[in-house]
Structure 1
Amino acid sequence: MAAPSEARQRRRFGQRVLTDPARLFQHNAWDNVEWSEEQEANARRKVQENSSQLLPQEKQEEYEVNAKRYWDDFYKIHENGFFKDRHWLFTEFPELAPNRSSSQTGDSLHEFSTKEESKSEGLGRCENGHCSLETSTGSQLSLSRSTPGVCTQEEHRELQQRGGGFPGAAASYRVLEVGCGAGNTVFPILQTNNDPGLFVYCCDFSTTAVDLVQNNAEYDSSRCFAFVHDLCNDQSPFPMPEESLDIVILIFVLSAILPEKMQSTVTRLSRLLKPGGLMLLRDYGRYDLAQLRFKKGQCLSENFYVRGDGTRVYFFTQDELDHLFTTAGLEKIQNVVDRRLQVNRGKQVTMYRVWIQCKYRKAATPRP
């Protein structure tokens, strides 16, 4: 029997490689799966087919004007039941948990992986074109309908006007998650990182999503500040000043905005980073399962689609993301494609996912 440390290493999320095709259905997911030329060609053909018919311009404008309503409706329907706890979070982004509490050690991450293995059904699911990333473990964030003592947006503005600083002003390590949804990244960070100087900001376009975060029983206004924010509106203020953040997190959020607004969004977010600060991204890659499943009539522009529920999604290449970040003045630390083969062992079905993961850093000293 392997020692516990050896077992943890063997099960570590992101390091499971399929070397024997006969073992395909022994696990729920295999990492870094190579695609054949035929598979790549088939994917290109499917994308050409489903993007051959673009939505009329007036319909596209309707989706842009009503974008907030579509996301509000999404979270009213799913609350926190669609996107599950992100087991991969601290493996892929250890920067988010530099100081773990005794109850959230490596054994806890091992426990997540064990739960992930134990499921007989495959990873992920797709609803209305939303393809979730994680296995459903049955553990969901605990919601409380009682309203905790949180700082409202009006109170925050009043505080600033009185010269009282900003939320988290006394913190030594500040993290912002953009597009926080129901809090499936924010709360694991707060639970796992016991750094007394940590303060986490989180925002979302959807008022419903922010309400879910603020009404969560684990929301702690002394360590976290949730607020509604429109990334695409340059006049929408952030609650923190420029060059005040150590990390900005973008997890499956940049893909949801208009491609022509992505550069200004990344540039604006980069200004919030301290010198040496990091921007962390994980998002949809070109030819992901979700892109291949779209039908004709759902394409807005090249590699940009609208789902059945009115929300939108873009599928990136590494070069596109590198251009966005470097144009914003950030330096590349990591830019990798994660090709994962997910397996439904019960139905003997395979699903090929393609995600891109990036880490870009703001220069510690200004460029000449």
Structure 2
Amino acid sequence: MSPLTADPSLEAVIDTSKVSTEITVANIDLATKSGQPTSKWDIPRTERDDPFQFGQRYLDDEDAVWDYNAWDHVEWDEEQEILAQEKLQKQRENPVNDFDRKLYMSNPSRYWDLFYRNNRSNFFKDRKWLQLEFPSIYAKATAADSGPKTILEVGCGAGNTLFPIFAANKNPELKIVGVDFSHRAVELVRESPEFDPAYIATDVWDLADDSGILPAGLEENSVDFIILIFVFSALAPEQWAVAIRNVDRLLKPGGEVLFRDYGRYDMAQLRFKGGRLLQDSFYVRGDGTRVYFFTEDELREIFGTKFATEKMGTDRRLLVNRKRKLKMYRIWLQARFIKHAASDDVKRLTR
């Protein structure tokens, strides 16, 4: 469940730092999902940044907006809110037709497979920001004295999350498992020269599979960390409940879910034209892949009573193209959820 598309149009608004060097919305969105900041679009964070503060460059003077390529914590004014609502209303008035909707909803994995079959592994960029955004992995799982630990990445794509983690690993007892419902994505991981079967396992597995089958080699309550980076947005809302049950089954009590995905009103959402809306806040890109845009309240409801919200933040970033005088407002949600211990569940039920 990684970004895909070969459609470079603004209408598709896909995730593509992977498609071309052309400065388009598609490029920006894909750079986000691939996790590779670029000199044109993103300002690398410093080690002093709190991962859940999302940077410290504030735009206090509107006249200074063109001084840098990116600004953090940029709030919208009332006029922008109104314009966003107007764009969403136009999308609602021209949704995907019923025939195409059934097509896109019936077999979503085929579109991801097509993408990976058309792109080589060097098309994807490693997520080098992981240690800043999710330091608990490195403190608790990859440190030399961490002991036996299991990390599961759901939607592993070509391995651009699990390979950076493995490269930083000093724990001889670490096990990393990467799963994806795209057969080709899993093949790319296995074909990589960075793949080491002594530490890394892979499997073709769908997070929203309701058959009860778990990824090969994993049992219930056996995983310490589950990574969900731009994964839940590919699921239809009716699949969320099954996905959460699978996460709950796999994760140990006290285990962590590390989450990052698209936020409501993100530029990618507002750029969609007619014929892309599948249902409220859920769209199909030009290549047939799907994307949902979340709110914090939705995430709290999705993860429900089985998980404590340890951290949650909305990353509001203004990216600017100083040469073309373009402003691009990006919104992402990031969170860390902790699975309640069994004793905590009992306490809540008896209150």
TM-score by length of 2: 0.78
Identity of aligned residues (%): 46
* 2:224 alignment partner, SS class: strand
Structure 1 residues 277-308: Cα deviation after superposition (integer angstroms, max 9, x where no partner): 01111011111111011111111111111111
* 2:48 alignment partner, SS class: helix
Q: Residues 220 and 353 of structure 1: is their aligned pair in 2 closer, same or farther, counting only changes over 3 Å?
A: same
Q: Residues 82 and 303 of structure 1: is their aligned pair in 2 closer, same or farther, counting only changes over 3 Å?
A: farther
- 1:330 is aligned, of 304, 307, 310, to 307
Q: Residues 285 and 31 of structure 1: is their aligned pair in 2 closer, same or farther, counting only changes over 3 Å?
A: same
Q: Which residue of 1 aligns with 2:239?
A: 261
* 1:51 alignment partner, SS class: helix
Q: Which amino acid aligns with 1:348?
A: K
Distance in 1 between the 2:276 and 2:156 partners? 25
Alpha-carbon shift at residue 101 of structure 1 (Å): 8.7
Q: Which amino acid aligns with 2:319?
A: Q
- 2:274 is aligned, of 274, 296, 303, to 296
> Are 1:31 and 2:72 counterparts?
yes
Q: Residues 312 and 346 of structure 1: is their aligned pair in 2 closer, same or farther, counting only changes over 3 Å?
A: same
Q: Residues 77 and 337 of structure 1: is their aligned pair in 2 closer, same or farther, counting only changes over 3 Å?
A: same
Q: Which residue of 2 aligns with 1:318?
A: 296
Q: Which amino acid aligns with 1:280?
A: L
Q: Which residue of 1 aligns with 2:341?
A: 364
Q: Which amino acid aligns with 1:275?
A: P
> Are 1:339 and 2:316 counterparts?
yes
Q: Which amino acid aligns with 2:82?
A: A
* Contact 1:99 1:193 (C-alpha < 8 Å) held by counterparts: no
- 1:223 is aligned, of 174, 195, 199, to 199
- 1:305 is aligned, of 275, 278, 283, to 283
Q: Which residue of 2 aligns with 1:113?
A: none
Structure 1 residues 312-347: Cα deviation after superposition (integer angstroms, max 9, x where no partner): 1111111111101024x1111112211111122343
Distance in 2 between the 1:99 and 1:194 partners? 11
* 1:316 alignment partner, SS class: coil
- 2:117 is aligned, of 61, 76, 97, to 76
> Are 1:184 and 2:187 counterparts?
no
Q: Which residue of 1 aligns with 2:263?
A: 285
Residues 234-253 of structure 1: matches in 2 within 5 Å?
A: 234-235=210-211, 236-239=213-216, 240-253=218-231
Q: Residues 87 and 16 of structure 1: is their aligned pair in 2 closer, same or farther, counting only changes over 3 Å?
A: farther
Q: Which residue of 1 aligns with 2:3?
A: none
- 2:94 is aligned, of 41, 53, 62, to 53
- 2:85 is aligned, of 35, 44, 68, to 44
Distance in 1 between the 2:85 and 2:122 partners? 32
Number of residues of Structure 1 aligned to a counterpart in Structure 2: 293
* Contact 1:79 1:182 (C-alpha < 8 Å) held by counterparts: no
- 1:66 is aligned, of 107, 132, 139, to 107
Alpha-carbon shift at residue 41 of structure 1 (Å): 1.6
Alpha-carbon shift at residue 206 of structure 1 (Å): 0.7
Deviates more, 1:231-240 or 1:185-194: 231-240
Alpha-carbon shift at residue 83 of structure 1 (Å): 4.7
* Contact 2:234 2:291 (C-alpha < 8 Å) held by counterparts: yes
Q: Residues 85 and 343 of structure 1: is their aligned pair in 2 closer, same or farther, counting only changes over 3 Å?
A: farther
Distance in 2 between the 1:324 and 1:82 partners? 33
- 1:21 is aligned, of 43, 54, 62, to 62
TM-score by length of 1: 0.74
Q: Residues 88 and 343 of structure 1: is their aligned pair in 2 closer, same or farther, counting only changes over 3 Å?
A: farther
CA RMSD of aligned residues (A): 2.3
Distance in 1 between the 2:208 and 2:284 partners? 18
Q: Which amino acid aligns with 2:294?
A: F
Structure 1: give runs of 5+ residues left out of the alignment.
1-6, 103-170
